[in-house]
A and B are shown apart, each in its own frame.
Chain A
Amino acid sequence: MSTGNMNLTLKIWRQKNPDAKGAFVTYKAEGISPDMSFLEMLDVVNEGLIHKGEEPVFFDHDCREGICGMCSLYINGHPHGPKDAITTCQLHMRTFHDGEIIVIEPWRAAAFPVIKDLAVDRSAFDRIQQAGGFVSVNTGGVPDANIIPIPKVIADEAMNSATCIGCGACVAACKNASAMLFVSAKVSQLGMLPQGQPERYSRVQAMVAQMDAEGFGSCTNTGACEAECPKEIKMTNISRMNNDFFSAKLFREEGVSEHAAGE
């Protein structure tokens, strides 16, 4: 299956299970084509391991086109590797040079425990969304889609926030392992749109409370999240979320808010 001429040294984090002590193990990746994606390079390594009867390296991945958010990997000190605005599955080996040493680690955050090797448990993200990342409408009985005009700039900005893929790179990049960028993207998307107004202030409180309960760190505005986000989600979202959160806490306690808000 070797089709190229790059030879690389990989230092890969291997960890049997969440409780085991992990360690870096060195592997050779040989005959790598520059047109391979990073994950295809790991496929080659894993095929080699299987042929030797050894256990392949476990990593999460699925769509391999940069949208499902399942792939992760901390590569040479960067979530999703050294290039901006792409996921690991879109990173190609032409980014590296022959003979390079590549260090591959899992996301590291207390709220993302390692499952095995390079895969972590990101179910905390799901629980935050379950706490309030929705508009409470049932199927059916909704008005015509064109009944509420939404200014194009608002729709576009909501889309910018909604483009988050929930991969967790923001948490991995943050020295505090904060999930503020992820949470604020959803809070912003719904907070900007008319459909999200009735629950705007209860939503932000519920989602932030769950974020805290999951053990994510605080935001200190370092900006590593924005710099490393494969979908270029902006820190403006965090400002919006803070604004809504403080507003909710200070002026809109206990459900009165939604009725008195008038926004």
Chain B
Amino acid sequence: MTLDAKIPAGPLAEKWSKHKFNLKLVNPANKRKYDVIVVGTGLAGASAAASLAELGYNVKAFCFQDSPRRAHSIAAQGGINAAKNYQNDGDSIYRLFYDTIKGGDYRAREGNVYRLAEVSVNIIDQCVAQGVPFAREYGGLLDNRSFGGSQVSRTFYARGQTGQQLLLGAYSALNRQIHLGKVKMYTRSEMLDVVTIDGQAKGIITRNLITGQIDTHTGHAVLLCTGGYGNVFYLSTNAIGSNATAVWRAHKRGALFANPCYTQIHPTCIPVSGDHQSKLTLMSESLRNDGRVWAPKTVATAEQLRKGQIKAGQVKEEDRDYFLERKYPSFGNLVPRDVASRNAKEMVDDGRGVGASGFAVFLDFADAIKRLGKDAVSAKYGNLFDMYYQITDEDPYSQPMRIYPAVHYTMGGLWVDYNLSTNIPGLYALGECNFSDHGANRLGASALMQGLADGYFVIPYTVGDYLATIGPKPVDGNHPAFEQTKQEVITRINKLLALKGTKTVNEYHRDLGHIMWEYCGMARTGEGLTKGKGLIQALRADFWKNALVVGANDEVNNALERAGRVADFLELAELMVDDALMRKESCGGHFRLESQTPEGEALRDDDNFAFVAAWGYKGDNQPEVLNKEVLDFEFVHLTQRSYK
């Protein structure tokens, strides 16, 4: 299959403007004749649903939570990037573009990333107009802070709750359209399949999570805004309900899945405390503005710390290794996430980890508290410090935080072109569930930017072009494809409900997480991945024999919901491993031990791997087919990434 990314020709700065002019328009009177389905109500979904309804389209929006405001965008802490250059520190659209391309280790498309940087400034304007209470300076203007992988301060924030405030802004815009009758909102509804007619997406199948009713919904276009698949790893910073079912079902209907192995392991999370753990909690990257990361210089000191014989404060300055500052003097503690995570892992592998388990390093605020005072530190990060205290029962004001990397974000996702369209006409993917803008590693504060860019400023233009092409004729809900897809969904549910083995779905999920973390986590090898693949296949086969699913369909049934999601994770996991096996180079968050520089940094192989890997589904338990979209770098010179 030839993949056409549809990147417009011409200079970077003119691509998007030119493209927008060339896109077909739907006239205002015709817009109300179109129905658009939006699945997911996080930043991408809520902003898309609201913006499309404002234009006049009829929108049907879906979320599995009890309210659109619960989507996991709400949990994003640190901030949102925008090339406003309000700080006069040398920022520009080009610099944000360049930082993002470099941060992604040269595995993203130039055209997409430039557009992202370009519309970033509009996002801030939009959010402020909605009443989002961003942090401000005493003069009343907006404040900024720094994030990893950048040497300018371009991150806008609302305390440690930026995602919450941006989502509530998008939710308010969505509410306005619900009130006006332009959006019909379906809560506690989970999308279980996409319906295609003659190769075009024309609707979805959902399950009402309260009554179990299976419904069909028609639409001229279907927008998936369903987030990432980090919960493949069981333990992640994702919400418990975050899942890959919508995108995986779309994949099985023909949508290509791109770069599934690109997962982001975030360096600063609260370490695992025991087997009971159901999720991991992030401590925002913004903390690395003032916190210093260190591990003891010697294994002996680490040993004493692990046994609780000494406290962190008793380790003398000369016995501490501020390893990020030492190795990366220009960026220091603000190196990108993949680099910070790998270095923390190195410390632990070296026997210098701390905490009872030894799987942690320190994030220390003693210097910042001395320099700025406790009150100033509390004003900036108070809610994060409180959260840390609640979870660990340790006071981060008086002793350093213990942190360790955890799965946080997935750069991979459904393959989309410049219009955010998958290879199935009418099926779009926005936000984290597409693969498009972050390459092999996402920079901090860029997820919020991308979700809102896609929803507010890209899809309202690009979906119109498609809708104008197909025309406003109503979608025939009586077409046999709807009933057939619905029956397939019901058959699958019945198959899950028939599982009366001995092991709970949660136990399978935890086992899968162990396999993925061990063999497809921060460091990957050909040998390990091959072993992991076998283990996943065996686990999946065992699931369909020995899993235990209680209850019935026509009621609230958490066990059934989870069974469906974990069954999909068990398939997606294998594709992630296949992709990681195929990509023999290291890049960004994908680190193959076989491919590293003498200093232990990720070593790319641009001659052989400067492409997007877009996988096509060929049937259950069949190998997937690899399609390559070659990445052309017209404007940026590919170099070994350096943060020294």
Tell whether, in the assembled complex, residue A155 and residue B134 are in contact, meaning their CB atoms are under 8 Å apart.
yes
Task: Contact check, A40 vs B278: say whether CB atoms are below 8 A apart.
Answer: yes
> What's the nearest-Cβ distance from chain B to residue A55, in Å?
6
28 contacts between A and B (CB under 8 A): A3-B276, A47-B504, A50-B504, A62-B70, A63-B239, A64-B279, A65-B279, A65-B387, A68-B74, A69-B74, A90-B387, A90-B391, A92-B390, A119-B556, A121-B66, A122-B66, A126-B175, A130-B175, A134-B172, A145-B134, A146-B84, A150-B136, A155-B134, A155-B136, A162-B158, A163-B159, A193-B131, A193-B133
| B485 interface residue per 8 A CB criterion | no
Q: Give the complex CA separation of A58 and B507 in angstroms.
A: 19
Partner of B172, one of A135, A138, A159: A135
Whether the pair B125, A69 counts as a contact (CB closer than 8 A) is: no
Question: What is the CB-to-nearest-CB distance from B264 to chain A, in angstroms, rounded to a whole number?
Answer: 17
Whether B210 contacts A115 by the Cβ 8 Å rule is yes
A47 to B134, CA, bound (A): 42
- Contact yes or no, B556 A67, CB < 8 A: no
- Min Cβ gap A196→B in Å is 5
**Interface-lining segment among A31-39, A96-104, A212-220, A237-245:** A31-39
Instruction: Give Cα A35 to B274, complex, Å.
Output: 8
Q: Is the CB of B506 within 8 A of A47?
A: yes
The residues in B between 568 and 590 inclusive whose CB is less than 8 angstroms from any CB of A are none
How many whole Å from A188's CB to the nearest CB in chain B? 11
Q: Is the CB of B390 within 8 A of A151?
A: no
- Of A53, A61, A121, A189, the contact of B131 (CB 8 Å cutoff): A189
Contacting pair A55 B67 (CB below 8 A)? no
Name A158's contact: one of B133, B141, B178, B460 (CB within 8 Å): B133
* A193, closest chain B residue (CB): B131
Q: How far is the CA of A125 from the CA of B67 in the complex (A)?
A: 9
**What's the nearest-Cβ distance from chain A to residue B395, in Å?**
14
Q: Mark B545-556, 1 if CB is under 8 A from A, else 0.
A: 000101100011
* Chain A residue at smallest Cβ distance from B179: A130
Can you name the residue of chain A whose Cβ is closest to the Cβ of B124? Answer: A145
Contact, CB under 8 Å: A62 / B240: yes
Task: Please measure, in the bound complex, the distance between the C-alpha atom of A159 and the C-alpha atom of B134, giving whole angstroms.
Answer: 8
Instruction: Please pick, from A50, A68, A135, the residue contacting B239 in the complex, using a CB distance under 8 A.
Output: A68
Binds A, one of B160-168, B333-341, B619-627: B160-168
A-B interface, 10 closest residue pairs, ranked by CB to CB distance from nearest: A149-B140, A134-B172, A142-B129, A145-B128, A159-B133, A139-B51, A158-B133, A155-B136, A130-B175, A130-B179
Shortest CB-to-CB span from B140 to chain A, Å, is: 3
**Residues of chain A with a CB closer than 8 A to B126's CB:** 137, 139-140, 142
Known contacts A37-B278, A159-B133, A166-B67; is A56 also within 8 Å of B210 by CB? no
Cβ contact within 8 Å between A62 and B72: yes
Q: Provide the residues of chain A in CB contact with B51, threshold 8 Å.
A: 138-139
A52 to B135, CA, bound (A): 52
Minimum CB–CB distance from A8 to chain B (whole Å) comes to: 14
Selected from B67, B133, B276, the residue in CB contact (under 8 A) with A40 is B276
- Residues of B within 8 Å of A135, CB to CB, are 129-131, 172
Q: Which residues of B contact A36 (CB under 8 A)?
A: 274, 276
Residues of A near B172 (CB, < 8 A) are: 129, 133-135
**Cα separation A131 to B138 with both chains bound (whole Å):** 34
For window 45-80 of chain A, which residues contact chain B by CB distance below 8 Å?
Answer: 46-47, 50-51, 53-56, 58, 60-70
Further 8 A-B residue pairs, CB within 8 A, beyond A131-B179, A134-B176, A151-B136: A122-B66, A126-B69, A134-B175, A139-B173, A142-B128, A145-B124, A155-B135, A159-B158
- What is the minimal beta-carbon distance from B135 to any residue of chain A, in angstroms? 7
Q: Of the candidates B187, B210, B274, which one forms a contact with A3 in the assembled complex, judged by CB atoms under 8 Å apart?
A: B274
The yes or no answer to B385 lying at the interface (CB within 8 A) is: no
- Interface flag for A247 (CB, 8 Å): no
* CA distance in complex: A63, B158 (Å): 19
- Chain A's nearest CB lies how many Å from the CB of B471? 25
Please indicate the chain B residues that have their CB under 8 angstroms from the CB of A190 in the complex.
Answer: 131
Knowing A62-B72, A145-B142, A151-B140, the reply to whether A123 touches B129 (Cβ < 8 A) is no
Question: Among the listed B71, B127, B133, B176, which residue makes an inter-chain contact with A155, where contact means beta carbons less than 8 Å apart?
Answer: B133
Contact A146 B179 (CB under 8 A): no
Known contacts: A133-B172, A143-B125. The answer to whether A149 contacts B141 by CB under 8 A is yes
Residues of B within 8 A of A61 (CB): 240
B460 — which chain A residues lie within 8 A by C-beta? 139
Central interface residue in A94, A162, A193, by most chain B CB within 10 Å: A162
Q: How far is the CA of A214 from the CA of B237 in the complex (A)?
A: 35
- B residues apposed to A, CB below 8 Å: 47, 50-51, 54, 65-72, 74-75, 84, 86, 122, 124-131, 133-142, 158-159, 161, 164-165, 168, 171-173, 175-176, 178-179, 185, 187, 210, 237, 239-241, 273-279, 281-282, 386-387, 390-391, 393, 456-457, 460, 502, 504, 506-507, 548, 550-551, 555-556, 558-559
Contacts of B237 in A (CB 8 A): 65
Interface residue from A56, A129, A158 paired with B559 (Cβ < 8 Å): A56
Q: A56 contacts which of B74, B279, B558 (Cβ < 8 Å)?
A: B558
Residue A9 at the B interface, CB < 8 A? Answer: no
Pick the most buried of A33, A43, A46, A145: most chain B CB atoms within 10 A of its CB.
A145
A189, B165: Cα distance in complex, Å: 11
Assess A33 versus B75: contact at CB under 8 Å? Given A90-B387, A130-B178, A189-B131: no
In whole Å, how far is A30's beta carbon from the nearest beta carbon of chain B? 13
| B65, B84, B130, B502, most chain A CB atoms within 10 A | B130
Chain B residues with CB below 8 A from A14, complex form = none
Please name all residues of chain A whose beta carbon is closer than 8 Å to the beta carbon of B74 when the two chains form the complex: 63, 67-69
A61 to B239, CA, bound (A): 9
CB of B50 within 8 A of CB of A139, answer yes
Query: Least Cβ distance of A206 to chain B in Å?
Result: 9
Q: Which chain A positions have C-beta within 8 A of B71? A: 68
Q: Which residues of A contact B141 (CB under 8 A)?
A: 146, 149
Binary B-proximity of A104-135 (CB < 8 A = 1, otherwise 0): 00000000000110010111011001111111
| A1 beta carbon closer than 8 Å to chain B | yes
* Docked CA distance A172–B311 (Å): 42
Q: Does A173 contact B (CB under 8 A)?
A: no
CB-based contact B559/A50 at 8 Å: yes
A53 cross-chain contacts in B, Cβ below 8 A: 548, 550
CB-CB under 8 A from A163, the residues of chain B are 159, 161, 164
- How far, in whole Å, are A149 and B457 apart by their CA atoms in the complex? 25
Q: Nearest chain B CB to A52's CB is how many angstroms away?
A: 9
